[in-house]
Amino acid sequence: MVQRPRGTRDFTPEVMNRRLAFENLLESMALSHGFKRVQTPIFESLDLFTAKSGPGVVKQLYAFQDKSDRALTLRPELTAPVMRMISEEMRSSPKPLRLSYFGQCFRYEESKKGRYREFFQYGVELIGASGPLAEAEVVSLAIDMLDSCGLVDYEVRIGHVGVLRDILTGLGLSEEGEPEPPVASAMRLLDKGDWDGLAELFASSGISSSALDNLRKLAELDGGSETLDSAREILSALEVSHESLDELAELLAALSALAPTPPSLKVNLCVARGLDYYTGMVFEVNVAELGGEGQVLGGGSYRLLHLFGLEDLDPSCGFGLGFDRVLLALEAQAERVGRSEVVPGETPRPSTLVMPFKIDAHAVLSIVKELRDMGHIVELDLRGKNIGKTLDWASKNGFTNVVIVGPQDLENSRCSIKNLTTGDQNEVGLDSTSISSVL
């Protein structure tokens, strides 16, 4: 028995139905914000990702060599491939560009619930525009998406790495260094909330503990835009520019007009997103239902295009949405609140089984075709059982209606249409127009 590789999944028709509904929903929301879908290869040159994330990522990749010894890898994410595509195909396209993408990504990691070796990401990038308004456009799309798919109780956390960077460099930490620049170390520790580690770092760099206290105060701010005034006071105490904070304030103001109010929106200046190519606003969305793997979406403003010789497009802004995780959260929430439809719009359209009963099936084929041409979902019965068994089968397979055509029906040019949901039965003329009118 050959089984699926670890961390991968098969999607049966029932599961796929839900996933397609979800994808369609995200797609239509992206389109309504002007984001156009693109697609890139499943595998790329290994260099693409080491250039973006450093050589350390290789151990997390499905990297391999092809028959000509090219170093390739299955893609672990979609931002870098889209950047690559822009540099190869869209250099002269008018900017800004609004692009969306959806597809599977691969990471060689231990699989668990909500964390697979093959996982799906939906994302968008707004290329060649920066600043609070561009960021607000991106964040508002993220919120619109989560809101429209019925997700509840999620928390949006918005920060600005410029604030942290200004503080840390202002304190004298260097942005250069091996193996990790002190500023990056500090941001990582702040993101994790590791205050002991940070105290240690500060002590070894000769930074006063009062700076640590101020940072802690900054981290403890809890709330939306109303916390920005307190943040300004702390920044003044640290003798740091308010510029980044002012940008954040403008972003939040724009966001409140552009998107529905999320269940929880918190300014968190310690969100550092781990990755050093983020330059401005950063944001992430968490859902409590998922426990340790609760982050369902993340993004921000970043500088990556310079890697492809497109310095003038930096910074750009985007986010990735964890397709599988949002679905898991929706399923958990649907269960909790007793909602039968997990993804809005997943309920299949009514469908009809056309059943030739003890007659030559060819007599109904043109009707089947015409009903399909009219837009109905129609199946021709292929089992040729008796009526009781066929109704049973049709019911188990989710049909809404069964059109029964027997010898007497054929003779009188009539047919019976049984609605399996209501149990009602109608007799109409044996032609597609009459049948269509009662489906």
Could you tell me the sign of the dihedral formed by the alpha carbons of 421, 425, 431, 434, in that order?
A: negative
Q: If binding is defined by CB under 7 A, does position 387 make contact with RNA?
A: yes
- Cross-strand pairs, 301: 317
- Cross-strand pairs, 31: none
- CB atoms inside a 10 Å sphere around CB 220: 10
Distance CA 310, CA 294 (A): 34
With contacts defined by CB under 7 A, name the span among 67-75, 335-343, 345-353, 418-426 that binds RNA. Answer: 418-426
Q: Which of residues 111-130 bind RNA (CB under 7 A)?
A: 111-117, 119
Closest residue by Cα to residue 380 from 403, 400, 411: 403
The distance in angstroms from the start CA to the end CA of the chain is: 44
Contact yes or no for 124/35 (Cβ under 8 A): yes
Complex with RNA: residue 367 or 391, whichever CB lies closer:
391
Q: If binding is defined by CB under 7 A, does position 408 make contact with RNA?
A: yes
With contacts defined by CB under 7 A, name the span among 34-42, 85-93, 149-157, 387-395 that binds RNA. Answer: 387-395
Q: Which of 241, 295, 426, 434 binds RNA (CB under 7 A)?
A: 295
Complex with RNA: residue 235 or 321, whichever CB lies closer:
321
CA distances from 314 to 34, 50, 130, 278 (A): 20, 19, 8, 11
Distance CA 379, CA 330 (A): 31
Residue type, 240: V
Q: Which of 230, 238, 406, 436 binds RNA (CB under 7 A)?
A: 406
Q: If binding is defined by CB under 7 A, does position 336 make contact with RNA?
A: no
Which tokens sit at 154?
């999620």
Pattern 184-223, RNA, x by CB under 7 A:
----x---x-------------------------------
Q: If binding is defined by CB under 7 A, does position 19 make contact with RNA?
A: no
With contacts defined by CB under 7 A, name the span among 4-12, 30-38, 303-311, 346-354 that binds RNA. Answer: 4-12
Determine whether 163 is exposed, middle or buried from the number of CB atoms within 10 Å of its CB (0-12, 13-18, 19+).
buried
Complex with RNA: residue 256 or 426, whichever CB lies closer:
426
| Interface ranges with RNA (CB under 7 A) | 1, 3, 5-8, 77, 107, 109-117, 119, 188, 192, 273-275, 284, 291-293, 295, 297-298, 320, 322, 324-325, 357-358, 383, 385-388, 391-396, 404, 406-409, 416, 418, 420-421, 423, 425
